[in-house]
């Protein structure tokens, strides 16, 4: 079973067993997302505000420019976040994994679009109810502040990646970044899942799809990675970390 499929099956099993948005003990995003700051009673209170949703691959969660009325917590699957530029081009600004929250910005309209890369499950909260909830939870506000600060740091790192690194260094940095994020969910996994396409990676890194494919092929030829159907395996961690930190 694929890693992402296993995550989704775990979530669906929880739905069948608990009959609610997600089961406390088995929520994949619980330990790593905002919910990790909550106790059992607070988590149950948050549950009552949530609406469970399921999306098929390529289905939209929300669109750029629409009124921003909801907050989403990804509980399984992955999503693609992107902006459409005035000339019609697409810039991918990130990828969401289980445990990630979307829609935390207080802007009136969505700054970007989000669609599902894989079958995806999420809990949706009305922004007003979610805001009222966190206003009474200082520890949750601190957790949110930490998440926002981390996302800002990632955005700053991405600016460096786009502007100052070679194509090979960009691809290596992307793989190491994903490896760290997936490791929160499955520390024992030897594969870095790549639910996104080569074109998605290219749009995120500011490269052409041909360049991304060429860099992955070079890394595989040099036995730094092994390309597998669902992603890549790192064969020479020290080498790719050195490239990512260049």
> pLDDT tens digits, residue range 169-198?
999 989 998 998 888 777 767 789 999 999
pLDDT higher than 80, residue 79: yes
> pLDDT tens digits, residue range 57-74?
999 999 999 999 999 989
Spell out the domains of the chain, with CATH numbers in brackets.
3-149 (2.60.120.10), 165-244 (1.10.10.10)
Of residues 125, 103, 120, 115, the one with CA closest to residue 48: 125
The lowest-confidence range among 4-13, 68-77, 129-138 is 4-13
25/242 Cα distance (integer angstroms): 38
What the block records as the tokens of 31 is 């330990």
Q: Are 104 and 71 in contact (CB under 8 A)?
A: yes
The pTM assigned to this predicted structure is 0.79
Residue 93 makes CB contacts below 8 A (sequence gap 6+) with 81, 82, 83, 112, 204
2/84 Cα distance (integer angstroms): 31
Return the number of other C-beta atoms located less than 10 Å from residue 168's C-beta: 19
88/100 Cα distance (integer angstroms): 28
236/246 Cα distance (integer angstroms): 16
CA dihedral (20, 184, 153, 126) in degrees, to 10, reads: 0
């Amino acid at each position: 079973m694929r890693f992402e499929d296993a995550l989704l099956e775990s979530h669906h099993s929880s739905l069948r067993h608990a009959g609610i948005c997600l089961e406390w003990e088995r929520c994949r995003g619980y330990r790593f997302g905002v919910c990790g700051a909550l106790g059992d009673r607070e988590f149950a209170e948050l549950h009552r505000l949530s609406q469970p949703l399921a999306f098929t691959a390529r289905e939209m969660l929300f669109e750029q420019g629409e009124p921003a009325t909801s907050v989403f917590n990804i509980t399984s699957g992955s999503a693609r976040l992107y902006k459409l530029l005035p000339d019609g081009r697409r810039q991918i600004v990130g990828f969401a994994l289980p445990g990630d929250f979307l829609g935390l910005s207080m802007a009136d309209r969505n700054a970007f679009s989000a669609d599902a890369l894989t079958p995806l499950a999420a809990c949706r909260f009305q922004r007003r109810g979610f805001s009222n909830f966190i206003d009474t939870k200082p520890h949750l506000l601190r957790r949110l502040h930490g998440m926002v600060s981390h996302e800002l740091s990632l955005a700053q790192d991405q600016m460096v990646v786009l502007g100052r690194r070679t194509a090979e260094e960009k691809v290596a940095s992307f793989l190491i970044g994903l490896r760290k994020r997936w490791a929160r969910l499955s520390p024992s996994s030897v594969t870095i899942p790549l639910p996104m396409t080569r074109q998605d990676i290219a749009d995120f890194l500011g490269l052409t799809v041909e360049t991304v494919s060429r860099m992955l092929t070079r890394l595989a030829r040099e036995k730094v990675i092994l390309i597998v159907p669902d992603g890549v395996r790192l064969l020479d961690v020290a080498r790719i970390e050195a490239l990512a930190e260049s």
